[in-house]
Amino acid sequence: MNKFLTKDDSRRALIKMKSFHDDLSCLMNKHDFDIFQNLGRRNILLSQAQEKYFAESLSRKFKVRSDGRTGEPDIVIECLDKELECKLTSPQKHGSISFQTDYESLLKKGSLDFLYVVDDKDFEKFAVIHYENLTINDY
* pLDDT tens profile 31-43: 999 999 998 899 9
* pLDDT tens profile 109-135: 888 899 999 999 999 999 999 999 888
- Ranges of residues in the chain with a pLDDT under 70 are 1-2
Query: What is the per-residue pLDDT for 55?
Result: 96
- What gap in Å lies between CA 18 and CA 120, rounded to an integer? 12
- What gap in Å lies between CA 74 and CA 103, rounded to an integer? 16
Query: What is the per-residue pLDDT for 2?
Result: 57
